[in-house]
Amino acid sequence: MMNDGRVHPAAAATSSDFSGEMDQSQSAYSSSDPSSSPLYSFHFEKPVPPPALPHGHQPKQPQHQKTTPPQKPQPGTYVVQVPKDKVFRVPPPENERLFQHYTRRAKRQSGCSCLRACLYLLLAIVCLAVLLAVAVGVVYVVYKPRQPTYSVVSLAVSGLAGVGNASAPGAFTPGFDATLRADNSRNGKMGVHYDGAGSRVAVSYDGVSLAQGAWPAFYQAPGNVTVFVAKAKGAGLRFSERVRGQMAAAERLRSVPFDVDVKVPVRLQLGGVKTWAVTVTVRCTIAVDRLAATAKVVSRSCSAKVPFLFWRI
């Protein structure tokens, strides 16, 4: 800007450019929201033009004043204004109350979700139990399962000859061949699979274990009666004087009692479906007339336990 009121071309261009841009920016803000103010604003001061002179007249130079060379235009002044709500400050108490409110609501929602999941799980368990009960009822009505019966037909004894004699050897090796009878005639639609693995046949006298063996593996068809032999063997047994005397006296009375305990895993065949394995427990008390392979049974009684409620007699 020069002293005579004339504007330097570069300064004029710069001032007009920025002024135009700022006018457009202010008009944009004012059109969108008149009450809002821009984040940053720039103010420039334009020089006041000199009064117009008649044509042909030249401005008078002041007398006794020296002519100074033209000065360079001063750079524009930039004023940056920041809105008050943009200044960082301590949050108001309302924000803390809102934060606590939303935190408590989130905790309540989490607790409700856990309770809802537990209720759904309980409902699913109840539904499965009901379906299982219905399935068991259908099986009972359709197949009408009954517990097979078991008995000891004969018991051949070996290795105990002369147990009552004082001259008998100190160690005995008893052996038993138990002829067993499994009766599944009451089940016309259910077969039974007997698993030999994991089975046990034990023979004892007055609580003293004498021999152990295994139940043979086989399949018993519906309505079938199966008779088979289960072998049990013992070794190196030494009896006390009391036990030897009791066995000798019982043999003289023609009634030597033995206990036969059987545990065997079975699987039921219901049509085309084979169930899981359950353990059948059989306990028989049998008395023979002598301690020999030709012994005859004088009394017998057996009881069986199967882990199915509807098999109880």
Residue corresponding to tokens 């047994």: 237
Q: What's the rounded mean pLDDT across residues 150-161?
A: 92
Q: What is d(CA 15, CA 177) in angstroms, rounded to the nearest whole number? A: 124
The DSSP annotation for 48-85 comes to PPPPP--TT--PPPPTT-PPPPPPPPPPPP------GG
The residue that leads in pLDDT, 1 or 68, is 68
117-125 CB contacts, 8 Å cutoff, 24+ apart: none
Q: Is residue 36's pLDDT more than 50? A: no
Spatial CA neighbour of 227 closest among 177, 166, 300, 165: 177
pLDDT value at position 106? 63
Q: Give the pLDDT confidence of 44-92 residue by residue, as tens digits.
A: 445 555 565 555 555 555 554 555 555 555 566 666 676 766 655 566 6
Average pLDDT, the chain: 76
306 pLDDT band (50/70/90 cuts)? confident
Tell me if the pTM is above 0.95. no
Residue 3, pLDDT score: 44
Question: For residue range 110-139, what is the model confidence (pLDDT) as tens digits?
Answer: 666 777 888 889 999 999 999 988 987 887
Question: Kind and range of the H or E element at 22?
Answer: helix 9-32
Query: What is the pLDDT averaged over residues 256-266?
Result: 95
Taking the C-alpha atoms of residue 266 and residue 276, their distance in angstroms, rounded to an integer, is 8
In terms of Cβ atoms closer than 10 Å to its own Cβ (0-12, 13-18, 19+), residue 34 is: exposed
User: What is the reported pLDDT for 169?
Assistant: 67
Rounded CA-CA distance 206/226 in Å is 29
Q: In this predicted model, which residue has the larger pLDDT, 24 or 277?
A: 277
Both tokens assigned to 271:
């049509």
Whether 99 shows a pLDDT value over 60: the answer reads yes
Lowest mean pLDDT among 82-86, 277-281, 302-306: 82-86
pLDDT of residue 241: 86
pLDDT given for residue 130 in this prediction: 93
- Residue 267's nearest CA partner among 220, 309, 214 is 220
For the segment 212-240, what is each residue's pLDDT rounded down to a tens digit?
999 999 999 999 999 999 999 999 888 88
